Amino acid sequence: MIRLALFLLCLAAPLKAEEIVLGLSKDAVAITANFNGSDLLIFGAIKRQEPIPDTSVLGVIITVSGPNSSVVVRRKERRFGIWLNTDNVEVDLAPSYYAVASSAPLGTILKDIEDLRYAITVPRAIRSVGARVTGTEKFTEALIRVREQAGLYDVLEGAIDFEEATLFSTAITLPAKLTEGDYKTRIFLTRNGEVIDEYDTVIPVNKVGVERWLFDLSLSNPYFYGIMSLVLAAAAGWLAAAVFARIRR
């Protein structure tokens, strides 16, 4: 009996000294015809079993990642008066959208080894494989730069309000150009640069209404969808010509 009790005790998961309790302002994002972005409010608290050590440096990091896809990044050079593609690198895994927010500068609350393990920062979230040229990191930097300019990648250091090392909250603005799919949200609690707890959840982003119907129609019946598009374009052109002719009179 004692051996059985000891065996069950070994199987039991140990209680965490600190645990993340999360809240979200919305459970899903709907893409409609007039969709121009959305603010996602993320808030939560740290549940503790024991007091915080006085020497600890605590931090909270939140990442929101869109669906992954492969991307080919090409480098162009001007030769003989024209621009030509010279080299390319295949990025095997790149999130369509990625935002990382933190309660303090990432360098002060996250060690490099932890970043490598959990793929938290933007460069770590991207993986390049099959590279045939040297300086692969330059292609990754170029991809990050382009998507940052498009508002698809965002680094928000110090954007998380972390009150009394217990309550935290932040707002992340999702851009209008969102890829449909599941957006993974991760929250990390760090102490002295090491991750001590992690919480994961998923936010679905989907087309709704007429947009969803048209999208499904283009996949299920592309022939009818093409004819309908031509008819609508012709009708719009005829209506515009009629209005213009009436105005001229």
**pLDDT level of residue 131 (50, 70, 90 thresholds):** very low
pLDDT of residue 122 exceeding 50, the answer is yes
Cβ distance 199 to 20 under 8 Å?
A: yes
DSSP code per residue over 18-39:
EEEEEEES-S-EEE-TT---EE
Taking residues 135-139, what's their average pLDDT?
Answer: 71
**pLDDT level of residue 161 (50, 70, 90 thresholds):** very high
* 23-82 tens-digit pLDDT: 666 656 655 555 567 778 888 888 887 777 777 789 999 999 999 888 777 666 666 666
- What is the pLDDT of the chain when averaged over all its residues? 76
114 vs 212, which has greater pLDDT?
114
- Of 187, 188, 241, 232, residue with least CA distance to 214: 232
Residue with tokens 């087309």: 207
Quick one: pLDDT at residue 1? 44
247 vs 28, which has greater pLDDT?
247
Q: What are the structure tokens assigned to 245, written together?
A: 């002719």
**DSSP secondary structure letter of residue 55:** T
Taking residues 10-18, what's their average pLDDT?
Answer: 54
CB atoms within 10 A of CB 76: 11
d(CA 66, CA 17): 31
Q: CA separation (Å) from 16 to 77, 109, 134, 194, 199?
A: 55, 20, 45, 15, 13
Cβ distance 43 to 66 under 8 Å?
A: no
Taking residues 214-220, what's their average pLDDT?
Answer: 53
CATH 2.60.40.3880 fits 18-206, yes or no: yes
